[in-house]
Amino acid sequence: LVGLGKFTHLISVTFMADLMEVFRQLLAGDALTPEQKARCLLTACEVLSGHGEALQVDTGEFHRQLYAMLGQPSSGTTSGWGGFAGDGSGDADRGILRIRALQRFLGGYSHVDQGRVAAFAKRLAGAALCAEPGEAVGALGVSRQLLAAYPRTRCLLENERVGTGVFNPHVDDPESAVGLAAVLWDLAVLRHHYHPAVVAAADEVARMPLAGAVPPALGSHAPAELARLHSTTRGDFRPAIPPPKVGKRARTSVLDRQTSRGGEANVLTPGEELARIIAVDRSPDDKRDRLAPVVAALRRHFSETREFGVNAGLRAEAARLRRMSIKARERAEERRAAEAAKKAKKAEKAKRAVANGGAGEEVRAKKSKKKVKA
């Protein structure tokens, strides 16, 4: 199948009709796994997009197989919609094949029926609920492309049912599912997903306008590439979770501080007397007498623990008051030093004023003498 999809330009047109019939028989049977069926669908689409465009091929059977494949639950196994292929065949066989097949079959044709597209959009949103995050992002990306390309299908974003009839989610045929009567309530759940990429994709679909042009998507990647970038099938979270910011430590209780410093052995470990009473094996006849010393020891132990916590809190409060008093004393000394420096500055200024005043008297006396002589 990989070779046929790669070298489809070398296939003669006379054999393509027989090849499509073989693909239909393989998809109708149970011999292929979901991953192999997705590969078969993708190969059929690649053949039809090449020289096969000259053929008049009905793609309804391929759409039905793809629609039925979306209805399979994601259980984290090789047989589910979000299955993990443990055969080491690469990321393309781990659910991304289905996103690529969806993108090619539904996005590559402009004459797909509106009801069929609406049914696919509804089932894609439902499949994203139980798929792993990478495939959920890819499925929502394909659903957004469908709603943007077919404006009539945006009635699925209405709060109430708009189309005629009732949507049937249990039918594996998109033609008879009455997709235009569905409502994408699945987006309300996906907007509370644990993965931020799924939340952003669901919010992007939910905020689409009901009419008019649709703004471009936030990401520049195709849905299959988004599924690969956010895939968690290897066990890691993509993108990686950022480490927590190092900030001011939260205030904790005295008991928490004691336990964080290794004091849990003293706080939570029973005392010697309690351990000795517990270790004693008494007969079950005197059950009340046997429990009385245990209750008293427990009461005494926990009262001592409580008093220890109160004592530690009082000591912490005393240390805080001591630090506050030291800071207040330092501030008072600084204030007194500042006042003394200010007073000294004022005295120096007064002395300068007095000296300047005496020099002025002498100058005025000399000027008056000169006037008298003149």
Q: What is the pLDDT of residue 249?
A: 61
Give the whole-angstrom CA distance, residue 33 versus residue 41: 12
Give the whole-angstrom CA distance, residue 107 versus residue 127: 18
Which segments of 50-195 does DSSP mark as H helices, in order? 60-70, 96-107, 114-129, 133-149, 186-190
List, for residues 183-197, the tens digit of each pLDDT value: 899 999 999 999 988
For residue 117, give the nearest of 125, 333, 354 by alpha carbon: 125
Give the whole-angstrom CA distance, residue 133 versus residue 210: 27
Give the whole-angstrom CA distance, residue 238 versus residue 269: 43
Give the whole-angstrom CA distance, residue 154 versus residue 182: 10
The SS3 call for residue 255 is: helix
Give the whole-angstrom CA distance, residue 246 versus residue 337: 40
Residues of the chain falling short of pLDDT 50: 75-94, 262-265, 267, 281-282
Residues contacting residue 116 through CB under 8 Å, at least 6 positions apart? 63, 174, 175, 179
Give the whole-angstrom CA distance, residue 60 versus residue 12: 23
Handedness of CA 240, 246, 251, 254 (dihedral sign): positive
Q: What is the pLDDT of residue 63?
A: 81
- For the chain, the first-to-last Cα distance in angstroms comes to 129
DSSP 50: T
CA angle 151, 112, 66 (to 5 degrees): 110
148-183 CB burial, b ≥16 within 10 A, e <16 = bebeebbbbbeeeebbeeebeeeeeebeebbbbbbb
Q: Give the containing element (helix H, strand E) for 306.
A: helix 287-373
Q: What is the pLDDT of residue 219?
A: 61
Q: What is the pLDDT of residue 86?
A: 38
Give the whole-angstrom CA distance, residue 296 versus residue 288: 12
